[in-house]
Chains A and B, each alone.
Chain A
Amino acid sequence: MRAWLKVGVAAGFAAATMAAAGLASAQNKEIVLGFQTDRTGATANIGVPLGTGYNDYVALVNSKGGVEGFKLKVVEIDNEYKVPPAVEGYERQKKEGAVIIGLFGTPHTQALTARLVEDKIPGTSPGFGSAMSRDGQKYPYLFPMAASYWSQMAGGLQFAKQQLGGNLKGKKIAYIMYDNPAGKEPLPVLEAIAKQEGFDFRVFAVPPPGVEMGAQILDLTQRYRPDFIITHLFGRAPSVSMKELKRNGYPMRKVVAMAWGGAEADIEAAGGYAAAEGYNTIQFAGAGNEFPVVREILNMYSQQGKEPPKDLRSSVMYNRGVLTAAIHVEGIRNAIKANGGKAPTGADVKKGFENISGFTLGGLVPPLKITPEDHEGGGWVKIYQVKGGALQPVGDWYQGFPAVLEQVLKNEAAKG
């Protein structure tokens, strides 16, 4: 029984310290940011560099004096890519006074959508979640704030069009997708654009976890013989798709991967940069370390006499973390300015978000314009190509087929 007593006392002590910590944060001028990531679950390869990027940017802001006199505090939750920990973590973040929640993962975003409205706390889902949630009237507290799967698909097709000489008529496009809801989401956009541009397409579904797709790729390269390929895969699957396409002799420059298939880790796992030369990736945050804000973070580390984190090498995901944090901070900055220097509530931050425009962070963030109607900020993407041992940008930020996207959104919303 002694042991039980000890555990009880320890639990009581833990509760007391937590209460004390809560009291302390109320006295300082502090704003709490809730951030969920996945450091130990199915998508940890994304969650770890993304989480580091997020924390580093917030630390950078704090080292420069915070936002309008407020210090920022991150309450990070590792949701293990499971729904119950995500729900529990959200309640924890709410209890600690978070005015913004950085969500992680589509199922968790959906599980918390209703709660966010209930509690009037804005949540962000950059690059995942439902594409429908760009509609700010229908989903008032959900902010994709980066290109959704729809915008990524439209961006990929725009790129294909440009690469194939400005005309898609009569061309054949293959879409390799993860056979899950996220994989299927861009299909209405693909259908609508195929109709408008007059090209033929075929869908090749790969069942999760997608480490075996020899049959599909063989069918695709030997029988269908597409002019261009768009892939939408997760986890280990992107590197497998690259290897298989390579083996079948398909040129990499005619392949473009959507957001979660274009990180440095995928290229390395597929046999390195030389093997992947020409592979195109769709990005919603700039890739590489050549951004002023990343240099500032490096500076901050060297001033503290510390080694920069090795997650910086995974710049695609790291920069997405920086982008998430930067837009969070910008929304909070707008909110504080709007209410005259008082600590903002979740509803204030929502309005702050809806005023973000022309915030590019030296090119790392696309030229977003978030409005009460458009929570996606325009759906900007940029293509990065594997070229000479690095990911090199191709052209500038652009929006793919915005008019078609508008129409698809209307159609899908009407379906209910």
Chain B
Amino acid sequence: MFHRESGVFKTSYRGDMALYPLPIAKWTVGIIAAIFIVVAPLALDDYYLSILNLIMIACVGAIGLNILVGYTGQISIGHAAFMSVGAYTAANLATKLGWDFWLTLPAGGLMAAAIGALVGVPSLRIKGLYLAIATLAGQLIIEWTINHVPAISGGTQASIEVPKPALFGYELKSQGELYGFLLFFTIIAIVGALNLVRSRIGRAFVAIRDQDIAAEIIGISIFRYKLLAFAISSFYAGVTGVLYTYYLGIANYEQFQLVTSIDYLAMIIIGGLGSILGSIFGAVFITLLPTFLRNFMESFGGLFFTDAELATVVPYLRLTVFGLLIIFFLVVEPEGLNRLWRNIRNYFRVWPFSY
């Protein structure tokens, strides 16, 4: 992830396939994992943990969308709707049947995967912008269905209150406890995706993205793998919805409307299409940057504005700067933050003996 050897020294397929070919890379990943598992929950207060929690939820969703859009090349703007499918499935199972999260979470994911594969059927015939419109229809149909079928949406105002996740009878309530809960599933999601994309399935996805006719000729079943991509991506989306539901304690489809789908597309485009690390970068960027900008401006805005003016100026200024930064990063590196990171890393690969 962070390191590169200075040449090609691999002598076996196993070595070539390794996630982290260098010992130092394994160490770095280990240290990063230790920081998030041990140090972060001890060192950070509730506020920062809540930001991390939102980022982790966004990470899972962004990785899922990247598998579909970035790796398989199928544009989808129905991602948020699949989240709501997962959210409502889990919420109904948790409230009506009293299932625990370790059952509702995969159930929500599987239900979303099934619906996702169904919405993905048009992808067998249409591509690009046409597919985008077809998935948009999926988004709107799912929203409408949830809004109009009380059996799904339950409760007042199409929302279902869900009990907090419980582990052996112990309720996970505080930000710190929920952090652990979310971190566990985020790690599984990341490791799962990293392994998926280097497997046969992942290579089939990439082949379809690069040239689907060629892929079919070398023996990849387009039908199977396109639907599989939709299913896996929607599974991730469904899990995101379930995590959201447990984190907030409520399932509500108004959180998963078209705007949310666009937000997730923005994450993976800024982060880098076809890259797991890029999805994480994008999720962090979109979630954290507005917060960072606001805190930054409120700290320094006092030099230019009075407090009352600050309240009215900061939101607009923040939105402007946010937009400008997105343009800036895309102009500097159209392939996203992941590519930017790789450029930096490659520069230091043979540093200081670059020539």
* A residues at B contact (CB < 8 Å): 10-11, 13-14, 17-18, 21, 39-40, 48, 51-52, 55, 59, 74, 76, 78, 82-85, 87-88, 91-92, 94-95, 106-107, 110-115, 118, 130-132, 179-182, 184-185, 412, 416
B173-191 CB contacts (< 8 Å) to partner A: 173-175
Our pick among B173, B248, B295 for the contact of A87 (Cβ within 8 Å) is B248
Whole-angstrom distance between the alpha carbons of A398 and B45 in the complex? 47
Our pick among A18, A39, A111 for the contact of B250 (Cβ within 8 Å) is A111
B36-56 CB contacts (< 8 Å) to partner A: 45-47, 50-51, 54
Q: Which residue of A lies closest to B302 (CB)?
A: A17
Our pick among B46, B259, B287, B312 for the contact of A94 (Cβ within 8 Å) is B46
CB distance from B96 to the nearest CB of A (A): 10
Whole-angstrom distance between the alpha carbons of A107 and B259 in the complex? 14
List 5 tightest A-B contacts by C-beta distance, closest first: A114-B249, A78-B315, A181-B157, A91-B50, A181-B158
Q: Which residue of A lies closest to B298 (CB)?
A: A18
Q: Which residue of B lies closest to A83 (CB)?
A: B255
Our pick among B290, B295, B316 for the contact of A39 (Cβ within 8 Å) is B316
Check A181/B299 contact, CB under 8 A, given A87-B248, A94-B47. Answer: no
Chain B residues with Cβ below 8 Å from A82 are 259-260
Please tell me if the beta carbons of B254 and A106 are within 8 angstroms of each other in the complex: yes
Q: Which residue of A lies closest to B46 (CB)?
A: A91
Chain B residues with Cβ below 8 Å from A39 are 312, 315-316
Whole-angstrom distance between the alpha carbons of A95 and B292 in the complex? 16
Tell me, yes or no, whether B296 is within 8 Å of chain A by CB.
yes
Interface string of B145-161 (1 = CB under 8 A from A): 00100000101111101
Q: A82-B259, A181-B158 are known; give 17 further A-B pairs, CB within 8 A.
A: A10-B296, A17-B300, A40-B315, A55-B311, A59-B308, A74-B311, A83-B248, A91-B46, A110-B250, A111-B248, A111-B250, A113-B250, A118-B174, A179-B147, A181-B157, A181-B159, A185-B156
Q: Which residue of B lies closest to A133 (CB)?
A: B156
Please tell me if the beta carbons of A40 and B252 are within 8 angstroms of each other in the complex: no
Please tell me if the beta carbons of A118 and B173 are within 8 angstroms of each other in the complex: yes
Interface string of B271-292 (1 = CB under 8 A from A): 0000000000000000100111
Please tell me if the beta carbons of A111 and B252 are within 8 angstroms of each other in the complex: yes
CB distance from A58 to the nearest CB of B (A): 10
Please tell me if the beta carbons of A55 and B54 are within 8 angstroms of each other in the complex: no
Please tell me if the beta carbons of A95 and B46 are within 8 angstroms of each other in the complex: yes
Check A130/B314 contact, CB under 8 A, given A114-B161, A114-B248. Answer: no
Q: Which residue of B lies closest to A92 (CB)?
A: B47
Jot down 17 A-B pairs with beta carbons below 8 A, ordered by A.
A10-B296, A11-B296, A40-B316, A51-B311, A74-B311, A87-B54, A87-B248, A91-B46, A95-B45, A106-B254, A110-B252, A111-B255, A113-B161, A115-B248, A130-B159, A182-B157, A412-B156
Whole-angstrom distance between the alpha carbons of A48 and B311 in the complex? 10
Tell me, yes or no, whether B319 is within 8 Å of chain A by CB.
yes
Q: Which residue of A lies closest to B260 (CB)?
A: A82
Whole-angstrom distance between the alpha carbons of A16 and B252 in the complex? 37
Whole-angstrom distance between the alpha carbons of A95 and B175 in the complex? 13
Please tell me if the beta carbons of B254 and A181 are within 8 angstroms of each other in the complex: yes
CB distance from A125 to the nearest CB of B (A): 12
Our pick among B175, B292, B295 for the contact of A91 (Cβ within 8 Å) is B175
Chain A residues with Cβ below 8 Å from B248 are 83, 87, 111-112, 114-115
CB distance from B227 to the nearest CB of A (A): 30
Chain A residues with Cβ below 8 Å from B298 are 18
Chain A residues with Cβ below 8 Å from B249 are 113-115
CB distance from A274 to the nearest CB of B (A): 32
Chain A residues with Cβ below 8 Å from B157 are 106, 110, 130, 181-182, 184-185
Whole-angstrom distance between the alpha carbons of A87 and B316 in the complex? 20
Whole-angstrom distance between the alpha carbons of A106 and B308 in the complex? 26
Which of A14, A84, A94, A114 has the most CB atoms of chain B within a 10 A radius of its CB? A84
The number of chain B residues touching the other chain, given as a range, is: 35 or more
Chain A residues with Cβ below 8 Å from B174 are 118
Chain A residues with Cβ below 8 Å from B315 are 39-40, 78
Which of A21, A82, A106, A107 has the most CB atoms of chain B within a 10 A radius of its CB? A107
Please tell me if the beta carbons of A55 and B173 are within 8 angstroms of each other in the complex: no
CB distance from B164 to the nearest CB of A (A): 8
Our pick among B173, B287, B299 for the contact of A13 (Cβ within 8 Å) is B299
CB distance from A57 to the nearest CB of B (A): 12
* B residues at A contact (CB < 8 Å): 45-47, 50-51, 54, 58, 147, 153, 155-159, 161, 164, 173-175, 248-250, 252, 254-255, 259-260, 287, 290-292, 295-296, 298-300, 308, 311-312, 314-316, 318-319
Chain A residues with Cβ below 8 Å from B147 are 179-181, 184
Our pick among A10, A59, A74, A107 for the contact of B252 (Cβ within 8 Å) is A107
Chain A residues with Cβ below 8 Å from B316 are 39-40
Q: Which residue of B lies closest to A105 (CB)?
A: B254
Our pick among B51, B156, B291, B311 for the contact of A130 (Cβ within 8 Å) is B156
Our pick among A84, A106, A115 for the contact of B54 (Cβ within 8 Å) is A84
Please tell me if the beta carbons of A180 and B254 are within 8 angstroms of each other in the complex: yes
Please tell me if the beta carbons of A14 and B300 are within 8 angstroms of each other in the complex: yes
Chain A residues with Cβ below 8 Å from B47 are 91-92, 94-95
Please tell me if the beta carbons of B156 and A132 are within 8 angstroms of each other in the complex: yes
Whole-angstrom distance between the alpha carbons of A85 and B51 in the complex? 9
CB distance from A132 to the nearest CB of B (A): 5
Q: Which residue of B lies closest to A413 (CB)?
A: B156
Chain A residues with Cβ below 8 Å from B308 are 55, 59
Check A131/B296 contact, CB under 8 A, given A87-B50, A114-B250. Answer: no
CB distance from B263 to the nearest CB of A (A): 8
Check A85/B290 contact, CB under 8 A, given A40-B319, A110-B250, A114-B248. Answer: yes
Our pick among A40, A84, A95, A130 for the contact of B287 (Cβ within 8 Å) is A84
Chain B residues with Cβ below 8 Å from A52 are 312
Whole-angstrom distance between the alpha carbons of A91 and B49 in the complex? 9
Whole-angstrom distance between the alpha carbons of A291 and B295 in the complex? 36
Chain A residues with Cβ below 8 Å from B252 are 107, 110-111, 181
Which of B164, B175, B249 has the most CB atoms of chain A within a 10 A radius of its CB? B249
Chain B residues with Cβ below 8 Å from A92 are 47
Chain A residues with Cβ below 8 Å from B311 are 51, 55, 74, 76
CB distance from B88 to the nearest CB of A (A): 13
Q: Which residue of A lies closest to B256 (CB)?
A: A83
CB distance from A30 to the nearest CB of B (A): 13
Chain A residues with Cβ below 8 Å from B45 are 95
Chain B residues with Cβ below 8 Å from A112 are 248
Q: Which residue of A lies closest to B296 (CB)?
A: A14
Whole-angstrom distance between the alpha carbons of A55 and B319 in the complex? 21
Whole-angstrom distance between the alpha carbons of A179 and B249 in the complex? 24
Chain A residues with Cβ below 8 Å from B290 are 85
Please tell me if the beta carbons of A88 and B250 are within 8 angstroms of each other in the complex: no
CB distance from A309 to the nearest CB of B (A): 9
Chain A residues with Cβ below 8 Å from B173 are 118
